[in-house]
A and B are shown apart, each in its own frame.
Chain A
Amino acid sequence: MIEVQHINKSFDGATVLEDINTSFERGKTNLIIGQSGSGKTVLMKCCIGLYDVDDGDILFDGREYAHLAEKKRQHIRQEMGVLFQGGALFDSFNVEENIMFPLNMFTDMSMKEKKERVNFVLENVNLAGTNNKFPSELSGGMLKRVAIARAISLIPKYLFADEPNSGLDPKTAERIDALLSDLTKKFNMTTVINTHDMNSVLEIGEKISFINKGKLWWEGDNQDVLKSDNQELNEFIFATSLTRRIKG
Chain B
Amino acid sequence: MFQAFKRPDKGFVFRKQLLLDFRRIGTDSLGIVVVTSVFMGAIIAIQMAYNIDSPFIPNTIIGFSTRQMMVLEIAPTFISMLLAGKVGSRIASEIGTMRITEQIDALRVMGVNPANYLILPKITAAMLYFPVLIIFSIFLGIVGGWISSIVTGIVPSAAYINGIRDWYDPFTVTFAMIKTVVFAFIITSVSAYKGYTVKGGSVEVGQASTDAVVQSSILIIFFDLILTQLLLT
Residues in A lying within 8 Å of B, measured CB to CB: 48-50, 73-75, 77-78, 80, 82, 84-86, 88-92, 101-102, 104-106
Nearest chain-A residue to B97 (Cβ)? A91
B101 / chain A contacts, CB cutoff of 8 Å: 86, 88
The yes or no answer to B31 lying at the interface (CB within 8 A) is: no
CB-based contact A86/B13 at 8 Å? no
CB-based contact A105/B112 at 8 Å? yes
B166 / chain A contacts, CB cutoff of 8 Å: none
Nearest CB on B from A159, distance (A):
12
Q: Supply 17 further A-B pairs (C-beta < 8 A) apart from A74-B111, A77-B111, A85-B102.
A: A48-B109, A49-B108, A75-B111, A77-B108, A77-B110, A82-B109, A84-B102, A84-B106, A88-B101, A88-B105, A90-B106, A91-B97, A102-B110, A105-B9, A105-B10, A105-B110, A105-B112
The yes or no answer to B103 lying at the interface (CB within 8 A) is: yes
Near A by CB (< 8 A), chain B positions 183-198 give: none
Residues in B lying within 8 Å of A, measured CB to CB: 9-10, 12-13, 20, 97-98, 101-103, 105-106, 108-112
B12 / chain A contacts, CB cutoff of 8 Å: 104
Interface of B is mostly: helix
CB-based contact A49/B109 at 8 Å? yes
Nearest CB on B from A4, distance (A):
17
CB-based contact B110/A50 at 8 Å? no
B108 / chain A contacts, CB cutoff of 8 Å: 49-50, 77
A-B contact pairs, 7 of them (CB 8 A): A50-B105, A78-B110, A88-B106, A89-B103, A102-B110, A105-B13, A106-B110
**Which 5 A-B pairs have CB atoms at the shortest separation, nearest pair first?**
A77-B111, A88-B106, A88-B102, A74-B111, A84-B102
CB-based contact B103/A78 at 8 Å? no
How many angstroms from the CA of A156 to the CA of B97 in the assembled complex?
Answer: 27
How many angstroms from the CA of A89 to the CA of B110 in the assembled complex?
Answer: 12
A86 / chain B contacts, CB cutoff of 8 Å: 101-102
How many angstroms from the CA of A88 to the CA of B102 in the assembled complex?
Answer: 5
How many angstroms from the CA of A49 to the CA of B101 in the assembled complex?
Answer: 18
How many angstroms from the CA of A4 to the CA of B144 in the assembled complex?
Answer: 69
Between B9, B10, B101, the greatest number of chain A beta carbons within 10 A of the residue's beta carbon is seen for: B101
A84 / chain B contacts, CB cutoff of 8 Å: 102, 105-106
A80 / chain B contacts, CB cutoff of 8 Å: 109
**Cβ 8 A contact of A50, one of B9, B20, B109:** B109
Q: A48-B109, A78-B110, A78-B111 are in contact. Are A88 and B10 (CB under 8 A)?
A: no
B102 / chain A contacts, CB cutoff of 8 Å: 84-86, 88
How many angstroms from the CA of A102 to the CA of B13 in the assembled complex?
Answer: 11
CB-based contact B106/A104 at 8 Å? no
How many angstroms from the CA of A48 to the CA of B105 in the assembled complex?
Answer: 10
How many angstroms from the CA of A86 to the CA of B104 in the assembled complex?
Answer: 13
B98 / chain A contacts, CB cutoff of 8 Å: 90-91
How many angstroms from the CA of A101 to the CA of B111 in the assembled complex?
Answer: 12
Nearest CB on A from B137, distance (A):
28
A74 / chain B contacts, CB cutoff of 8 Å: 111
How many angstroms from the CA of A203 to the CA of B110 in the assembled complex?
Answer: 29
Nearest CB on A from B21, distance (A):
11
Nearest CB on B from A63, distance (A):
15
How many angstroms from the CA of A49 to the CA of B111 in the assembled complex?
Answer: 10
B10 / chain A contacts, CB cutoff of 8 Å: 104-105
Q: A86-B101, A88-B101 are in contact. Are A106 and B106 (CB under 8 A)?
A: no
Nearest CB on B from A154, distance (A):
9
Nearest CB on B from A89, distance (A):
8
Nearest chain-A residue to B13 (Cβ)? A104
Nearest chain-B residue to A79 (Cβ)? B111
How many angstroms from the CA of A104 to the CA of B13 in the assembled complex?
Answer: 7
A102 / chain B contacts, CB cutoff of 8 Å: 110
Nearest CB on B from A66, distance (A):
14
A85 / chain B contacts, CB cutoff of 8 Å: 102
Q: A49-B109, A78-B111 are in contact. Are A88 and B13 (CB under 8 A)?
A: no
How many angstroms from the CA of A90 to the CA of B114 in the assembled complex?
Answer: 12
B97 / chain A contacts, CB cutoff of 8 Å: 91
Nearest chain-A residue to B12 (Cβ)? A104
How many angstroms from the CA of A101 to the CA of B102 in the assembled complex?
Answer: 16
B105 / chain A contacts, CB cutoff of 8 Å: 50, 84, 88
How many angstroms from the CA of A93 to the CA of B98 in the assembled complex?
Answer: 13
How many angstroms from the CA of A216 to the CA of B108 in the assembled complex?
Answer: 27
CB-based contact B111/A105 at 8 Å? yes
CB-based contact B109/A106 at 8 Å? no
